[in-house]
Structure 1
Amino acid sequence: MIVSVKRNRKQKIIKIASLVAVVIMFIAYYFHMENEFKLQQEKELQLKKAEKLKIETKLKKKKELERTLLSEIEKTVDLIGQKYINHIKIVEDKIVIICEPNTNLEALMIRYGSMALVKESLKETIIAIDLKYIVESRINEK
């Protein structure tokens, strides 16, 4: 028995048209996703630039603060006299200066007033200057 199937030209055209439509959809989807990916990369790049700028400004502020503190420490050393100072260190929020006993601290007391805490003993004189006061005064200057 031979069975013959008639093929309709309309079915062929519908299959070809649907295949073309699917290919066009895939191409459109590809270009759409490519644009989305570019936008996403641009956003990420902008975020990275903003973060980098934020870090740079933070580092600038740190360096400026460090320079301020170092210059202030140099001024205190000049006021006291370098030969009288044994040790300088920063502890928490204070500059601690350890110097020899019977050191002339009048110039230091005039500059800092009550912000400089002085403790004298037989072996050494300890001076603690509040960093908060120094930083606030420098900020108010600018």
Structure 2
Amino acid sequence: MIVTVKNSGPKNYVMKIISVVALVAMFTAYYFHMSDEFSSNNGKSTSKQSMEEIKKEDSKEVEKLIYKEVETAVELVGQEHIQDVKIVKNKILLVCDTDTNLDALKVRYGTLALIKNDLNNIKIAIDIKYIIESKLNEK
């Protein structure tokens, strides 16, 4: 059996009023704080030219990362075994000789490297999207 006791005296009524006033005070303080934050952010907004410069710098950085990944992939396979290298969308496409040792490449890239054996060559597609995202998040 559950028994509840209600206190309906003036002390309980005063506590309710104080808690409501405190709640309203917290919301108004939060409102004024956030309005100050938004007004300071609007004053710091950058112009379109600086945004374009930032995008250009980011694209150059991504281009350098892609170039480094292609270099490491070619070094892992061995440059003498490479027939062709292409970058298509988010993938590096390597075309190698059939007698190429791909163990180092498999260890480095794991499931990100898709390997297809043909009669004339071996085609390797390396997904660089996640690699670049992880490198950019490191910085």
Normalising by structure 2, report the TM-score.
0.65
Please give the alpha-carbon distance, in whole angstroms, between the structure 1 residues aligned to 2:117 and 2:130.
Answer: 22
**Alignment match, 1:81:** 78
Q: Which has the higher helix share?
A: 1
Please give the alpha-carbon distance, in whole angstroms, between the structure 2 residues aligned to 1:106 and 1:55.
Answer: 42
**2:121 alignment partner, one of 108, 112, 124:** 124
**Alignment match, 2:48:** 51
SS at match of 1:113: helix
- Which runs of structure 2 are paired with 1:67-106 in the superposition (5 Å)? 67-106=64-103
**Alignment match, 2:20:** none
Decide which structure has the larger Cα Rg and report it: 1
- Structure 1: runs of 5+ lacking an equivalent: 1-46
- Which runs of structure 2 are paired with 1:23-42 in the superposition (5 Å)? none
Q: Kindly provide the amino acid, as one letter, of the partner of residue 108 in structure 1.
A: L
Give structure 1 regions of 4+ aligned residues with deviation exceeding 4 angstroms.
none
Map Cα deviations across residues 64-87 of structure 1 (whole Å, 9 max, x no partner): 000000001000111000000010
**2:137 alignment partner, one of 96, 116, 140:** 140
- Structure 2: runs of 5+ lacking an equivalent: 1-44
1:50 Cα deviation after fit: 1.0
Q: Kindly provide the amino acid, as one letter, of the partner of residue 126 in structure 1.
A: K
1:139 Cα deviation after fit: 2.3
SS at match of 1:89: strand
Please give the alpha-carbon distance, in whole angstroms, between the structure 1 residues aligned to 2:79 and 2:88.
Answer: 20
Q: Kindly provide the amino acid, as one letter, of the partner of residue 59 in structure 1.
A: K
Please give the alpha-carbon distance, in whole angstroms, between the structure 2 residues aligned to 1:55 and 1:133.
Answer: 24
Map Cα deviations across residues 20-79 of structure 1 (whole Å, 9 max, x no partner): xxxxxxxxxxxxxxxxxxxxxxxxxxx9x7111011000000000000000010001110
Q: Kindly provide the amino acid, as one letter, of the partner of residue 128 in structure 1.
A: A
Give the aligned length: 96
